[in-house]
């Protein structure tokens, strides 16, 4: 009992001691939680770090009116100063301060700040969450600019959108008649916007695109802007003034700054097309592995390609003009593509395959002029797309197959060798080997609805549902998905070729070379050789035939195999 009381007394004494230490500089206070972190201020090397109690270079929070006035204690100099800090945006703080001196009351000290005292701006370094959308809509724009020696209007400069709408690409042109103008490409990253009276401010980072490797300092990159937008009918214009340094000092009017710009939107609504109905019938398509989403939006004129969780947009395509369309199976068109801050026109081919499978091919380069986009047909890889509403379809190449050179195959040959070499005495069989993804046989379409492919080994089997299949000359393609677990989110493409080969007995046997590719139907994969998995198969009878019987018939009756091959070909 006594010990407990003693403990409480000690705790109280400690608390009093701590309070005493605190009150030696006035009780202490806290800065708002949201200010914690590193801040850039022009003219101050490194960053200013703020935590709940300290502001680096200024001191410890000693007293506050819980609004914008803070009395801070500078321990090094043993003096106090008043800071009046305005949070303009969660990423922008502006403040005025007094000299550091003798302590007085908060209000007395702060009142000594005059209206014309210097105003300092601090900008958040590495803001999280990421910056906000730029306030200039709708890109693209043409613009004129001036750096004090006249308007550079001819040729016009261009401002283009990026897939990330907190970025804007500024393509400055050089005007022969305006001294001091040069062509240059800059990327503007919009960090913060706020309004004071009727004046709108923007703080952004300017990155040099063509001189990306050159080192830019924070002093070079942070810029303040004042802007004003005007909307009239479909015409949108913005007057923008940019600061000459990494502060907002002296910037009050959108037509007066170190650099001024006038943006005018380019109305390209009239030269837009719509993706065909048979494409946008499903608004959302997915890559086979479901890693990427292909989303047709905005009046069926835009295709957004993004990470499956929608967090990050990789590419945006706006339909520009349709060049040709074959029935409801194939369309070739020109689209305006934006990827990061790069943009241009690209050739697009969309093909509807059997089943709900769509294939997309993009031209391999971007062109400024739309009519150049499809003039040199060089394409990137096929992208195979599926929807979430897929139904199993009949598989091609029905039959029972053996995997050539499978583990079972090798074991069989090893045993034969052993028998030959010794006196014909058979050696006890090894325990059955099992290796993941290694199969001995396959049955294609042997289930009741003929829509499955089953790979089997002595100890396991994997079943796929066929979702669509087609042929391109000698090459067969099947989109399939595991029938169990995961299913559609792990769809894959089987590429295959078939051929007949004479065996030593003089008969012909049908071979099937297959490769499984997980991401798309990649035509560069040679069936049986490359891909995520590759198998060479020989036919071992039709689905209907009993295994013993057909293994004999296939081997001994070559004509039967040819007939089977012909039948299979005819069914397609
Ligand atoms: C705040 O920063 C100061 C100096 O940088 C440090 O001494 C203090 O412990 C920090 N306080 C907290 C709560 O992190
Ligand atoms: C977009 O396509 C869908 C499906 O074909 C159609 O129902 C819809 O009306 C289209 N929207 C526009 C704006 O054309
Ligand atoms: C297979 O054998 C048949 C007849 O025996 C012959 O006509 C054919 O050319 C042979 N094919 C190959 C690829 O050797
Ligand atoms: C399938 O056969 C081809 C040649 O016919 C060979 O190059 C390839 O390695 C074989 N694939 C497998 C998985 O055994
Ligand atoms: C054909 O399949 C049956 C059963 O699936 C098997 O017993 C037989 O060994 C196979 N034939 C060959 C040549 O592997």
Instruction: Report the pLDDT averaged over residues 22-49.
Output: 84
- The answer to whether the CB of 530 is under 6 A from ligand 4 is no
For residue 118, what are the domain limits? 21-126
Distances (CA, A) of 428 to 179, 406, 415, 544: 93, 20, 9, 33
Does 557 map to a domain? no
Query: Phi, psi (5° rounding) for residue 362?
Result: -110, 140
Does 133 map to a domain? no
339 and 208 belong to one structural domain: no
The predicted pLDDT at position 70 comes to: 96
Q: Which ligand 3 atom is nearest residue 508's CA?
A: 1
- The answer to whether the CB of 506 is under 6 A from ligand 3 is yes
Task: Count other Cβ atoms within 10 Å, centred on residue 403.
Answer: 21
Summarize pLDDT for 421-467 with one digit per residue, the tens: 555 555 555 556 677 767 889 999 998 889 999 998 888 889 999 99
Q: How confident is the model at residue 369 (pLDDT cuts 50, 70, 90)?
A: confident
Does 14 map to a domain? no
418 and 404 belong to one structural domain: yes
539 has pLDDT over 60: yes
Least confident of 15-29, 229-243, 374-388, 462-476: 15-29
Give percent of the chain with pLDDT exceeding 90: 58
If one counts the domains in the chain, the total is: 4
Extract the tokens encoding 411: 């074991």
Does 3 map to a domain? no
Q: How confident is the model at residue 30 (pLDDT cuts 50, 70, 90)?
A: very high
The predicted pLDDT at position 41 comes to: 97
- The answer to whether the CB of 280 is under 6 A from ligand 2 is yes
Q: Please name the helix (run of DSSP H) or strand (run of DSSP E) that holds residue 115, with its range, or none.
A: none
State which of 126, 160, 185 marks the end of a domain.
126
Ligand in closest contact with the CA of 500: 3
Least confident of 470-484, 496-510, 554-568: 554-568
333 has pLDDT over 50: yes
418 and 539 belong to one structural domain: yes
259 and 280 belong to one structural domain: no
Instruction: Report the pLDDT averaged over residues 528-535.
Output: 91
Q: What span, in angstroms and rounded, lies between the C-alpha atoms of 404 and 535?
A: 7
Comparing 397 with 572, which gets the higher pLDDT?
A: 397
Distances (CA, A) of 416 to 38, 324, 411, 424: 75, 61, 9, 9
416 and 480 belong to one structural domain: yes
261 and 275 belong to one structural domain: no
Burial class (CB in 10 A: 0-12, 13-18, 19+), 252: middle
Q: Please name the helix (run of DSSP H) or strand (run of DSSP E) that holds residue 200, with its range, or none.
A: strand 199-208
Whole-number Å distance, alpha carbon 178 to ligand 5 midpoint, is 84
Does 147 map to a domain? yes
- Nearest C-alpha to atom 12 of ligand 2 is from which residue? 299
108 and 153 belong to one structural domain: no
Give percent of the chain with pLDDT exceeding 70: 85
563 has pLDDT over 60: no
Candidate of 37, 53, 60, 61 to mutate for ligand 1, largest count of ligand atoms within 8 Å of Cβ: 53
The predicted pLDDT at position 128 comes to: 80
The predicted pLDDT at position 537 comes to: 92
Ligand in closest contact with the CA of 504: 3
The predicted pLDDT at position 548 comes to: 39
The predicted pLDDT at position 448 comes to: 85
What are the DSSP calls for 314-340, one per residue?
EEEEEEEEEEEEETTTEEEEEEEEEET
The predicted pLDDT at position 568 comes to: 40
Whole-number Å distance, alpha carbon 298 to ligand 2 midpoint, is 10
The predicted pLDDT at position 14 comes to: 45
Whole-number Å distance, alpha carbon 14 to ligand 1 midpoint, is 21
Q: What span, in angstroms and rounded, lies between the C-alpha atoms of 441 and 514?
A: 13
24 has pLDDT over 70: no
Q: How confident is the model at residue 73 (pLDDT cuts 50, 70, 90)?
A: very high
Mean residue pLDDT of the chain comes to 85
304 - beta bridge partners?
A: 295, 316
Instruction: Report the pLDDT averaged over residues 20-47.
Output: 80
281 has pLDDT over 80: yes
333 - beta bridge partners?
A: 322, 348
Does 563 map to a domain? no
pTM, full prediction: 0.72
Least confident of 4-13, 108-117, 464-473: 4-13
Whole-number Å distance, alpha carbon 315 to ligand 2 midpoint, is 21
Which of 146, 203, 142, 212 is CA-nearest to residue 171? 142
Q: Which ligand 3 atom is nearest residue 506's CA?
A: 5
92 and 154 belong to one structural domain: no
Tracing tokens 């295959």 back to the chain, one arrives at 496
* 3 state DSSP class of 549: helix
Whole-number Å distance, alpha carbon 402 to ligand 5 midpoint, is 7
- The answer to whether the CB of 529 is under 6 A from ligand 4 is yes
The predicted pLDDT at position 570 comes to: 38
Q: Please name the helix (run of DSSP H) or strand (run of DSSP E) that holds residue 275, with its range, or none.
A: none
The predicted pLDDT at position 138 comes to: 86
The predicted pLDDT at position 195 comes to: 95
Query: Phi, psi (5° rounding) for residue 116?
Result: -95, 15
State which of 126, 153, 169 marks the end of a domain.
126
Summarize pLDDT for 171-194 with one digit per residue, the tens: 999 999 998 899 999 999 999 999
Q: What span, in angstroms and rounded, lies between the C-alpha atoms of 240 and 462?
A: 63
Does 135 map to a domain? no
147 and 260 belong to one structural domain: yes
517 and 425 belong to one structural domain: yes
According to DSSP, the β-strands at 37-41 and 120-124 are antiparallel
Burial class (CB in 10 A: 0-12, 13-18, 19+), 48: middle
Tracing tokens 């035939």 back to the chain, one arrives at 545
Do 286 and 276 form a contact (C-beta atoms < 8 A)?
no
State which of 249, 265, 281 marks the end of a domain.
265
200 and 329 belong to one structural domain: no
362 and 286 belong to one structural domain: yes
Burial class (CB in 10 A: 0-12, 13-18, 19+), 31: buried
């Amino acid at each position: 009992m006594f010990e407990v009381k003693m403990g409480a007394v000690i705790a109280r004494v400690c608390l009093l001691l701590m309070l005493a230490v605190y009150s030696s500089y006035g009780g202490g206070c806290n800065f708002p939680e949201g200010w914690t972190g590193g801040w850039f201020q022009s003219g101050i090397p490194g960053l200013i770090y703020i935590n709940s109690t300290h502001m680096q270079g200024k001191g410890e929070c000693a007293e506050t009116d819980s609004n914008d006035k803070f009395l801070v204690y500078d321990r090094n100099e043993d003096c106090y100063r008043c800071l009046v800090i305005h949070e303009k945006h969660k990423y922008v703080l502006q403040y005025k301060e007094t000299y550091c001196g003798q302590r007085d009351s908060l209000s007395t000290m702060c009142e000594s700040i005059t209206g014309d005292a210097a105003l300092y701006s601090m900008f958040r370094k590495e803001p999280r969450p990421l910056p906000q959308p730029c306030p200039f809509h709708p890109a693209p724009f043409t613009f004129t600019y001036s750096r004090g020696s006249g308007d550079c209007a001819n040729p016009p400069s261009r401002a283009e959108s990026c897939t990330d709408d907190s970025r804007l690409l500024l393509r400055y042109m050089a005007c022969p008649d305006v001294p001091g103008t040069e062509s240059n490409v800059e990327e503007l990253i919009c960090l913060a916007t706020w309004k004071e009276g009727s004046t709108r401010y923007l703080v952004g980072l300017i990155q040099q695109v063509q001189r990306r490797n050159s080192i830019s300092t924070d002093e070079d990159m942070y810029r303040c802007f004042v802007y004003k937008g005007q909307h009239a009918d479909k015409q949108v214009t913005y007057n923008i003034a940019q600061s000459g340094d990494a502060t907002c000092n002296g910037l009050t009017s959108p037509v007066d700054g170190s650099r001024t710009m006038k943006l005018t939107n380019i109305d390209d609504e009239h030269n837009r097309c719509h993706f065909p109905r048979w494409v946008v019938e499903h608004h959302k398509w997915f890559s086979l592995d479901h890693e990427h989403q292909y989303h047709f939006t905005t009046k069926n004129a835009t295709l957004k390609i993004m990470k499956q969780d929608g967090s990050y947009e990789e590419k945006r395509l706006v339909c520009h003009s349709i060049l040709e369309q074959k029935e409801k199976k194939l369309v070739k068109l020109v689209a305006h593509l934006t990827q990061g801050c790069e943009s241009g026109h690209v050739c697009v081919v969309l093909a509807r395959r059997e089943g709900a499978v769509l294939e997309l091919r993009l031209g391999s380069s971007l062109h400024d002029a739309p009519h150049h986009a499809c003039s040199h047909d060089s394409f990137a890889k096929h992208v195979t797309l599926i929807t979430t509403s897929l139904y199993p379809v009949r598989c091609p190449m029905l039959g029972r197959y053996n995997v050539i050179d499978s583990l079972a195959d090798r074991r069989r040959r090893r045993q034969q060798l052993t028998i030959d070499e010794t006196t014909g005495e058979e050696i006890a069989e090894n325990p059955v080997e099992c290796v993941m993804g290694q199969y001995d046989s396959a049955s294609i379409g042997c289930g009741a609805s003929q829509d499955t492919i089953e790979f089997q080994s002595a100890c396991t089997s994997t079943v796929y549902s066929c979702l669509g299949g087609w042929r391109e000359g000698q090459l067969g393609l099947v989109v399939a998905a595991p029938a169990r677990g995961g299913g559609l989110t792990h769809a894959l493409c089987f590429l295959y070729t078939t051929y007949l080969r004479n065996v030593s007995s003089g008969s012909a046997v049908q071979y099937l070379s297959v490769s499984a590719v997980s991401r798309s139907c990649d035509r560069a994969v040679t069936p049986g050789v490359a891909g995520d998995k590759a198998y060479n198969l020989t036919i071992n009878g039709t689905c209907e035939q009993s295994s013993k019987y057909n293994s004999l018939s296939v081997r001994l009756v070559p004509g039967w195999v040819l007939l089977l091959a012909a039948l299979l070909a005819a069914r397609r």
